[in-house]
Amino acid sequence: QFFVFCHGLLQLSQLLVSGYLKSSISTIERRYGLSSQTSGLLASFNEVGNTLLIVFISYFGSRVHRPRFIGCGAILVSLAGFLMSLPHFITGPYEYDQSVASMFSNTTDLCQPGVPGSQGNLSDAGCTPHAARENHEVLLVMFIAQALLGVGGVPIQPFGISYIDDFASERNSPLYLGILFSVTVIGPGVAFMLGSAMLRFYVDIDKVTGDNVQLTNKDPRWVGAWWLGFLVAASLVAVSAVPYFFFPREMPKEVGESFPFFLSDFPLVLLRNLRHPVFLLVVLAQVNLSAMVAGLATFMGKFLERQFSLTASLANMIIGAVNIPGAMVGIVVGGAILKRFQMSLRQCSAMCILGMFLCLLLAFPLLFLGCPTQKVAGVTYSESSEFEHHALECNLQCNCPEKAYNPICGSNDIEYISPCFAGCRVVNINADNNTVLNYTNCSCISEKGLAGFAKPGTCGTGCSHLFLPFVVLSCLAGILASISHTPSFMLILRSIQPEDKSFAVGIQFMLLRVLAWMPGPVLYGSAIDTTCILWEKKCDRKAACRYYDNNLFRQR
């Protein structure tokens, strides 16, 4: 029982490390200027290390000191977690364009007529060869960490489960495995909650004092303390790893027979299972569903942030507290119905089809629940040809830095990418906490012939009224889809020869990894990238996306 407790704890903390990355992905994109395709590849890269080794490990399972192997794997996972946070410590502080860099500097992105090109230094400062190299180092470290995370995770699940199954009594074994299974489902939820908590802190909380942070977490340039969660999760894994070095190689129990399984049989068994139509079809169906789940898990938070103008922290909170528990409910309900009605294989497949069909019906309206991107002058919006001309005139003499990004919301409900772009000449500062109150005397924001004013920050999509229906529908659709989880497993386990069981499950997970969990986030990320309207430029290369076409983002 102590082993089951330790293993539950270890699996939870391991999932914290891998799940936490998904919760902070939009933050890491913004901090290091990554496209969603790159971040999707990063998020699924741990599967690479995992897949390469899983077959060998499952094969040698009974011949090694399993607890010790699990402990070593856990230490690798913990190392990977600490490595993930390393980029924060090797790079300088996060830099963003601001109207008042500090009380002492005179660089600004206000409109300053007659100061030609003085502000060119606002955004190009970070473009030394050193900065470009730094960015490559960051990506390299993160990809290595993800690969390590995959390798370290290999022995944890198969060895733990086989160890428990070997030494627990037949009566208790299902209970113990059920406990572990529920932990693996709760894990990602906890990871998103951890993300929600950590992203409320400013990224450089350890490098700058609170007074110098002028961003609020509602600002589109806000970057939360993404690295903190990795330190927490990695420390938890390290603590959970300790007991494994003290468990015995074997525990006393009535010894059941084990199936000898030799490498020479490998191709034969593989072909036998892959030629089995039920096995193949169900696994392919699971592959399609899992690819969707993998992509959604990675980018759902980003989607909520963009569509409904939520903070990253709140988006993670919703996913961790609503969507993931919904999926758990679905899995439990599916298992309960199976048990209650003792279903045949045909009934199992009917239940899967029904669940998926109802899920599609509920998910269909999600295509339309959202709003277009807010009006952004010169990006998504121009009132008329006269407006284009006017836009040139009204900020022509301002000599604005092209790349500046310090969005403000005009009193006319149009967003401008910087105060200079809106032709604002005056900034009013709240003396108490050094934050910007508003910008006035803006020549591009004209109301009734007077120069208008603007508030710092984005205008938002004005979509908050659709947020609740979206969450409710997506949660229900998730419950219905996950009802088919247990019956589809049953279809696989009952349709193949008993001696092939463990091997068939191995093949199943292998196919899921290679066809779903690896490509899923990359495909999703690429699809999201195609909907970007304005890219941030870093050293003349595309970095993170500033504005998406929200309608296209939602539909694709």
Helical spans, DSSP H, in 395-518? 464-483, 485-495, 501-512
* Domain 257-374+465-555 architecture: Up-down Bundle (1.20)
Please give the backbone phi and psi of residue 50, each rounded to the nearest 5 degrees, phi first: -65, -50
pLDDT at 101: 47
Burial class of residue 14 in the structure, from the number of CB atoms within 10 Å of its CB (0-12 exposed, 13-18 middle, 19+ buried): buried
Burial class of residue 339 in the structure, from the number of CB atoms within 10 Å of its CB (0-12 exposed, 13-18 middle, 19+ buried): exposed
Query: Where do the domains of the chain lie?
Result: 1-97+130-253, 257-374+465-555, 385-456
Helix 173-198 and helix 156-167, axial crossing angle in degrees, nearest 10: 150
Backbone φ/ψ region at 529: left (φ over 0), alpha (ψ -120 to 50), beta: alpha
pLDDT at 107: 56
Burial class of residue 198 in the structure, from the number of CB atoms within 10 Å of its CB (0-12 exposed, 13-18 middle, 19+ buried): buried
- Residue 195: how many other CB atoms lie within 10 Å: 31
Separation of first and last alpha carbons in the chain:
47
- Residue 212 DSSP label: G
Nearest to 520 by CA among 183, 287, 359: 287
Q: CA-to-CA distance for 228 and 15, rounded, in angstroms? A: 16
Q: CA-to-CA distance for 553 and 28, rounded, in angstroms? A: 20
Residue 129, CB half-sphere, CA atoms under 13 Å: how many? 0
Superfamily of domain 1-97+130-253: MFS general substrate transporter like domains (1.20.1250.20)
- Residue 125: how many other CB atoms lie within 10 Å: 11
| Dihedral (CA of 363, 365, 368, 369) sign | negative
Tens digit of pLDDT per residue, the chain (556 long)?
A: 899 899 999 999 999 999 999 999 999 999 998 999 999 999 999 888 788 777 666 666 566 788 999 999 999 999 999 999 999 999 888 887 766 544 444 556 788 776 655 444 444 555 667 766 778 889 999 999 999 999 998 888 778 877 887 787 777 777 787 788 778 878 889 999 999 999 999 999 888 776 667 777 788 888 999 999 999 999 999 999 999 999 988 877 634 454 445 555 667 767 777 778 888 899 999 999 999 999 999 999 999 999 999 999 999 999 999 999 999 889 888 888 888 888 888 999 999 999 999 999 999 999 999 888 888 887 776 654 445 444 556 777 787 777 778 888 988 888 888 888 888 888 888 777 767 788 888 888 876 667 788 888 888 888 889 999 999 999 999 999 999 988 888 888 788 777 777 677 777 878 888 899 999 999 999 999 999 998 888 777 788 899 999 999 999 9
Q: Which residues of 275-286 are buried (b: 16+ CB within 10 A; e: fewer)?
A: ebeebeebbebb
Q: Is there a common fold for 1-97+130-253 and 257-374+465-555?
A: yes
Q: Which residues does residue 451 pair with via DSSP β-bridges, in sequence order?
A: 446
pLDDT at 260: 47
